[in-house]
Chains A and B, each alone.
Chain A
Amino acid sequence: DAGVTQSPTHLIKTRGQHVTLRCSPISGHKSVSWYQQVLGQGPQFIFQYYEKEERGRGNFPDRFSARQFPNYSSELNVNALLLGDSALYLCASNLAPGENTEAFFGQGTRLTVV
């Protein structure tokens, strides 16, 4: 069975540009969460989506947005990129929120903003 898949794996963007990152959860998982991991730190929660609705949001500016599609895949969008947005963006899927089961992480998208 395929795990959580993310695309692209690596991306280089210029300050001020926009980026879209994609995530496909494990088959049967309906909840997708996004995390940002800056080098040397732990992942930080950005969003959780369940049944196409936002269920939770971390302390990130409005430049960050996301959505979930009927097939439970998800996109993370970041506008007006800043150098500080350079990080590994991780997607995690679960069966459903609030169950506190383990989170299954994808390999991430390494975003570099120059």
Chain B
Amino acid sequence: GQSLEQPSEVTAVEGAIVQINCTYQTSGFYGLSWYQQHDGGAPTFLSYNALDGLEETGRFSSFLSRSDSYGYLLLQELQMKDSASYFCAVSSNTGFQKLVFGTGTRLLVSP
């Protein structure tokens, strides 16, 4: 089977740094993606890691360790607008674009 585990909820204050962890068990692995979804909105792509290490995109960074089947999303300088659900998703190298999503982490940013 395939499963991705994330914390269900994380709370933080504006300006803080928060890390959202993701551990996965999948049959076939090509890369780990992160998506943000505001209530009632579409998931939007944040980052993608195919190789071990850290990818930085502005205030967001993502890390992958393939040997540990583990990754995390790091959000810095938190803003109120960052309050949303965050999903990790594994893409498999089976020749088609299937994303297996985690259950999501709800981030609440307070003033």
Complex interface: chain B residues within 8 A of A58 (CB): 98
Interface stretch of the complex, out of A14-22, A48-56, A62-70, A72-80: A48-56
Complex interface: chain A residues within 8 A of B42 (CB): 4, 90, 105-108
A86 contacts chain B at the CB level, 8 A cutoff: no
B11 contacts chain A at the CB level, 8 A cutoff: no
Interface size in chain A (residues, C-beta < 8 A): 29
Structural contact, A98 and B97, CB atoms closer than 8 A: yes
B100 contacts chain A at the CB level, 8 A cutoff: yes
Complex interface: chain B residues within 8 A of A44 (CB): 101
Complex interface: chain A residues within 8 A of B100 (CB): 45
- CA of A107 to CA of B98, assembled, Å: 19
Given A90-B43, A100-B91, answer yes or no on A42-B97 (Cβ-Cβ < 8 Å).
Answer: no
Complex interface: chain B residues within 8 A of A55 (CB): 95-96
Structural contact, A56 and B87, CB atoms closer than 8 A: no
Give residues of chain B (77-111) contacting chain A, Cβ–Cβ below 8 Å: 87, 89, 91, 93-104
Structural contact, B103 and A42, CB atoms closer than 8 A: yes
Complex interface: chain B residues within 8 A of A94 (CB): 97
Given A41-B104, A90-B42, A107-B42, answer yes or no on A100-B97 (Cβ-Cβ < 8 Å).
Answer: yes
Structural contact, A56 and B101, CB atoms closer than 8 A: no
- CA of A58 to CA of B35, assembled, Å: 20
| Further 8 A-B residue pairs, CB within 8 A, beyond A55-B96, A100-B93 | A35-B99, A42-B103, A42-B104, A90-B42, A98-B96, A102-B45, A103-B99, A105-B42
**9 A/B residue pairs, CB under 8 Å, sorted by A:** A33-B97, A35-B99, A42-B87, A43-B101, A98-B95, A99-B97, A103-B43, A103-B97, A105-B44
